[in-house]
Amino acid sequence: MPKLVPENHPVLHTMADEITSEELKDGTAKKIIKDLREAIKTYKVDGFTAVAIAAPQIGVSKRIFIIEDQSNDEDRLPTIIAINPHFTKVSKKTRVAGEGCLSIPDRYGLVRRSTNVTIEATDENGKHYTRGAGGLLAQIMQHELDHLDGILFTDRAEKIWTKDELAEQKDNHPSLA
């Protein structure tokens, strides 16, 4: 079973390689997607489930991420497979929001992200597509594309808390919960 690599693993800090047309045809991309799906399903920490994962997080230096909301919420995020994704539009308007990461389970932070983005990518069947997103989905896409560029949310965060510090703040300020 694929496992998450630790935060200090070199693959998390380097630019991932593009998936080649040969890797799309020979099943390499589909195998990575299968491994990402297996890895994301295993994540449950403090009642939180995962919503997205990128190939570098399982030690594979390839430009693939998936968004696959593991919650049972009615308003779940759409499932998106993005192979060799890149932004074609990024809004100038930004907002600061909280982020966590499967690769850094003990910390959370405030990260400034564009409120809207558009990506171009390829799906698991080799079909090219363009997809726009706003709000949380745009934030997730930026977070996952950062993974493909060797950037962790802690590299961008304006403020970072450990899990214990965050719990203490919530205890002292119930409005944060």
Domains of the chain, residue spans: 10-172
The confidence score (pLDDT) of residue 171 equals 59
Looking at residues 98-105, what average pLDDT do you find? 91
The pLDDT of residue 164 is: 79
CA 175/CA 49 separation, integer angstroms: 22
Active site residues: 144
Per DSSP, 51 falls in state: -
Coil/strand/helix, residue 66: strand
Yes or no: domain 10-172 corresponds to CATH 3.40.50.300? no
Beta carbons within 8 Å of 21's beta carbon, 6+ residues apart: 126
Output the pTM of the full model.
0.91
